[in-house]
Structure 1
Amino acid sequence: MNVAAKIFGIIGVFFVIVGFVYGFWTEWTEWAGIPALLALGGMGLMIAWYLQATEKRYGQGVSDDEDGEIIAYAGTYGTFAPWSWWPLGLGLGCAVSFAGLAVGWWVFIIGAALSMFFCIGWVYEFSRGKYAH
């Protein structure tokens, strides 16, 4: 995690510097790009801080081992259901919501409701039916 923390720290510092340079370049008149660049820098630094803080708790990660092998990354990363239809429905709900921003608020509300329904279904997929705990 130390490598990842350094990478995100570099990314965060880069975007903060670019945000201030862009601000001076546009004479602080362009208020879309300046906050976006500074927010990117802040998010990069926030992720770097989180990775640095969790490194103390979990110790050295696989990517930090100088003599590490690719096989060290092997293992289970989570439980995924290849038969699940919930992600497809969630993607369609998000697409309807995004289209609703251009078409009208009533379409956006329908898409948001669909997205919430499919998101809740995906979260509780293993809590009911045949695969319940």
Structure 2
Amino acid sequence: MKAEYWTIVACGIFFAIVAPVYWVLTHDYTGTSALTMTFLLTALLGFYLGVIAKQIPDRPEDRSDGEIADGAGEQGFFPPYSWWPLFCASALAIVVLGVVIGWWLFIIGAGLLSVAAIGWIFEYYRGIHAH
């Protein structure tokens, strides 16, 4: 995680330097706000990667003497197939369409979206994929 952390922090420093320089040279609100938001995004991601890097004691990828066999074993939980993202996307499409057509469709879509989101969140708490 340390290599990823320093890569993102270096990008954040770059955007922190470029944003005010861009503003001084162009006085463009759109580009300056985009560069500022990009800096904030890299700061958030860098903070996250820094916290995770401190929680993981020592990865083989971070050591110069690391071997491939050092990374053997369980790597984490990778979810199998899921139909819930399709249902969530369909319900969200109904919600957006409800804003255009009428509030009655928006309310129906919001109900479907809440059911689909709850189903997606709690998918791995029951059935054959429970853990």
Instruction: Report if TM-score (shorter chain) is over 0.5.
Output: yes
The aligned residue for residue 49 of structure 1 is 47
Q: Secondary structure at the match of 2:77?
A: coil
Deviation at 1:16, TM superposition (A): 2.0
The aligned residue for residue 75 of structure 1 is 74
Query: Counterparts of 1:18-97 in structure 2 under 5 Å?
Result: 18-27=18-27, 29-30=28-29, 32-70=30-68, 72=71, 75-82=74-81, 84-97=82-95
Residue 128 of structure 2 is aligned to residue 124 of structure 1: no
CA–CA distance in structure 2, aligned partners of residues 16 and 126 of structure 1: 41
Give the RMSD, CA atoms, in angstroms: 3.2
Identity of aligned residues (%): 33
CA–CA distance in structure 2, aligned partners of residues 57 and 123 of structure 1: 25
**Deviation digits for residues 22-42 of structure 1 (CA, Å, limit 9, x no counterpart):** 222322x42x33223212212
**Deviation digits for residues 105-125 of structure 1 (CA, Å, limit 9, x no counterpart):** 746665554333211101112
Contact 1:62 1:73 in 2 (8 A): no
**Inter-CA distance 76–61: structure 2 relative to 1 (3 Å threshold):** closer
Deviation at 1:99, TM superposition (A): 5.6
Deviation at 1:58, TM superposition (A): 2.4
Deviation at 1:14, TM superposition (A): 1.9
The aligned residue for residue 114 of structure 1 is 112
Contact 1:2 1:64 in 2 (8 A): yes
**Inter-CA distance 125–70: structure 2 relative to 1 (3 Å threshold):** same
Q: Secondary structure at the match of 1:33?
A: helix
Contact 1:9 1:45 in 2 (8 A): yes
TM-score (norm 1): 0.69
CA–CA distance in structure 1, aligned partners of residues 125 and 106 of structure 2: 29
- Provide structure 2 residue ranges, at least 5 long, that are not aligned to the other structure: none
Q: Which moved more, 1:84-93 or 1:72-81?
A: 72-81
Q: Secondary structure at the match of 1:52?
A: helix
Give 1:81's aligned amino acid: P
TM-score (norm 2): 0.70
Q: Which has the higher contact order (CA 8 A, sep 6+)?
A: 1
Deviation at 1:20, TM superposition (A): 1.9
- Provide structure 1 residue ranges, at least 5 long, that are not aligned to the other structure: none
